Chain A
Amino acid sequence: MPQVELQFGGGLESLTGGNKVVPANFSGEQVVLGRVIDWIRTCLIKEKHEYFVQGEHIRPGILVLINDVDWELEGKTSYVIQEGDRITFISTLHGG
């Protein structure tokens, strides 16, 4: 049952009711990041889901970090989450 901390920034916090930090528990072994994203889309975000996920992918322009490491270095959605991981989602799409 890994517990992780989800962080939202760059405007994405508007999708989670203004919450920048959301703790979450996942049951089972070998929980991959793809499942976490799915959970965020279905359970955490109440509206405008397309601002977070488009089709099966996370919306282009959203950066993801796992414990401050670019998820592109960690296998993206196939990364297996560990107890205490901090997963950060930052939108790059807002303003200049």
Chain B
Amino acid sequence: MKRLCSHCGKSFANILVGREDKYLCRCCFFEYFEDTVHRTIVEECLLQPGERIAIGASGGKDSTVLAYVLKLLNERYYYNWDLWLLSIDEGIQGYRDDSLRTVEQNRDDYNLPLYTLSYSELYNWTMDQVVSQIGRKSNCTFCGVFRRQALDKGTEKIQANVLATGHNADDIAETILLNLLRGDHARFSRSVMEENANYRMSIDSDSKKIRRVKPLKRVYEKEIVMYAYFKKLKYFATECIYAPFAYRGHAREYLKSLERIRPHSISDILYSLSCISLEDSKTRVGQQCIRCGSISSQNICKACLLRTSLDRGQGVLAVKRSGMAILSKNTVESEIPQTVSESSTESNIS
């Protein structure tokens, strides 16, 4: 039984857009999707006309769709954005080398400049080497910390002050759920605050700090995959060879199963999230890592701590909570003890 598009009423519907019980034809779906992303950008002041924007590009569905839509909106609304693809090479053979080829394809198809930065040049460690030292249990922790900083450094290198990533509504709900299930109070608060403070941060940010924006935050994974499918966008769809062991996978499966019973689960979680208000914690005072100069809540940033632990062959220690404390103490004590207090006072004043 064919149904007509609930928007134009002319063509047959192709996709059910779950949360609003809309069923749209291909053309109306494209319009709906692009409009949703555009409204997110405009309403939350995510991107300013004429600025240089780094797009975190992995070659996967989300970043491919993000690059495509940003380019399209740029041309449609004459934003004069200077769009760059920024890719991080984690050094995972048989996974990242293949997906990087997809990013190169994006570069050619969309005619955007590409800048690639690798873990080995930044940290002197590839993920393959990390895994060979610490095994497959907490490797995603290393990769996550390293990637976050690598994206910042890459954004700096290409002299952009905003980094756009392909996180979608499902991803955000997943992260919230993950931190809740783990009972990780600090990270839960941080992720809640990050989502809710985006608007304020992008308005009154000082020019030095890199803004992180998520233009796809209001669209769902299903919509992204459908968009890529109907637009015939080429993306890389292989699971990272180390990911099946990550805890995140459980949150993901759980969320997807919830969605089957209750299609509105994801928007429910996101709604709850927007209702949480937390007091700004003191640890968020931005200071610089005394080693690498990155923004950090501690004297030495997490990436530097993890790297030190690897250099010492103590990577496994670093991902245990008690081990991290010991390591952090040792690292701070053994290096530049005098400047620690000075630099922290300085950054408190500024």
Contacts and interface: CB of A to CB of B under 8 A. Distances in A.
A92 interface: yes
Nearest to B63: A96
A71 B200 CA distance: 41
A57 B171 contact: no
Interface string A65-96: 10011101111000000000000101111111
B43 interface: no
A70 B25 CA distance: 10
Contacts of A96: 58, 60-63, 166-167, 171
A61 B174 CA distance: 13
A90 B16 contact: no
A60 B16 contact: no
Contacts of A68: 14, 26, 230
Pick from B3, B12, B61 the residue with the most CB of A within 10 Å. B61
Contacts of B226: 63, 70
Contacts of B252: 61, 93
A8 B73 CA distance: 30
B256 interface: yes
A88 to B, nearest CB: 8
Given A93-B252, A94-B238, A95-B238, A60 B14 contact: no
Contacts, number: 83
A70 B61 CA distance: 19
A30 interface: no
A25 interface: no
B133 interface: no
User: For this complex, into which size category does the number of interface residues on chain A fall?
Assistant: 20 to 34
Contacts of A88: 229
A72 B257 contact: no
B61 A60 contact: no
B53 interface: no
B229 A95 contact: no
Contacts of B179: none
B88 to A, nearest CB: 12
A60 B3 contact: no
A21 to B, nearest CB: 15
A61 B127 CA distance: 28
Given A95-B99, A96-B63, A63 B23 contact: no
A65 B13 CA distance: 12
A9 interface: yes
A52 B226 CA distance: 19
5 contacts: A10-B61, A11-B238, A60-B256, A61-B221, A93-B239
Given A11-B238, A57-B260, 8 more contacts: A61-B253, A69-B13, A72-B16, A75-B1, A93-B252, A95-B240, A96-B63, A96-B171
